[in-house]
Amino acid sequence: MRFYYHFGEQQIVLEVSDDVYYPREDSVFMADFLVDFLSKRRMKPKRILDVGTGSGFLAILCFLLTGAKVTAVDINRKAVECARKNAARNRCRLILIESDLFEGIRGKYDLVLFNPPYLPPSPESDKHLGTAKKALTESGEIPRFLLKLSGHLTSDGIALLLASSLTPVDMEKLSQRNKLKAMVIQTKKLDWEELMLYKITSL
C-alpha cells in the first residue's frame, strides 16, 4: 500500500507491504517532530540510528533532513527489505540491518529513534504488532531498549522514544535505573489515547 508524507517542498513516497507496519498517527507524530527538531533547531546529528524502522519512514526522513549517516534496524526481515526498496525509491543512502534492537549494532549515535510496539494487544492488532505485549513487560522491547541505550549514545546524544497513555511502563523510573533521564517533550491527544514523545539522555 502507498504512503505519502509531505514536508517543506519535499515528499516521501513509500510502498508498504502487508507484513510491514504501515505508518500511522504515531509515525506521523514522530515525523512532524523530527522535521521541526532537525530542520529548525540546532541539533546536527552526524550518526543516526532508527530502531524498528518498519517501512524505513523515519530513517528516510532523517536522511533527507540531515544528510547524516543513518542506520536503520528491524527484527522483521520483510521490513528490512521493504525499507531498502523505499530508501532507493526516495534516493536515500541508509545502512539497513536485520537486528533485535541493538544486537547487530556497534558504536555510538548522536540521535537514536524508537517508535516501539507500545500498545496492549487487541483482537484488531495487526500481525506486526504481535510483539506489543512484550513491550509492557520487563523482558519486553521498551525495557530492553533502555537497558542497552546508554552504550549506544554519544556523550551529548539523545534518544527519542514514543509511548502512549496506554503504555503501562514507568519510563522515568526505568530510565533512571539505567542511568538515563527521560522527559516528555511532545504530546498529542487522539480519541482513545495520548501519544507521548520522550527525550532520553545519559545522566
The residues that touch ligand SAM, with contacts defined as CB under 6 A, are 21, 23, 27, 30, 51-55, 57-58, 73-76, 79, 100-101, 115-117, 128, 131, 141
Q: In 10 A of CB 111, how many CB atoms?
A: 25
Find the shortest distance in angstroms from Cβ 172 to ligand SAM: 22
Q: Output the residue with the shortest Cβ distance to ligand SAM.
A: 52
Q: Nearer to ligand SAM by C-beta: 100 or 181?
A: 100
Find the shortest distance in angstroms from Cβ 8 to ligand SAM: 20
Find the shortest distance in angstroms from Cβ 135 to ligand SAM: 8
Distances (CA, A) of 116 to 2, 42, 68, 107, 203: 22, 26, 22, 21, 22
C-alpha angle 108-112-115 in degrees, rounded to nearest 5: 150
Q: Nearer to ligand SAM by C-beta: 56 or 157?
A: 56
C-alpha angle 136-142-143 in degrees, rounded to nearest 5: 90
Find the shortest distance in angstroms from Cβ 39 to ligand SAM: 18
Q: Nearer to ligand SAM by C-beta: 25 or 156?
A: 25
Q: Nearer to ligand SAM by C-beta: 164 or 175?
A: 164
Find the shortest distance in angstroms from Cβ 28 to ligand SAM: 8
CB distance 136 to 124 below 8 Å: no
- Whole-angstrom Cα distance, residue 5 to residue 107? 31
Q: Nearer to ligand SAM by C-beta: 117 or 157?
A: 117
71 forms beta bridges with 49, 95
- Whole-angstrom Cα distance, residue 110 to residue 99? 19
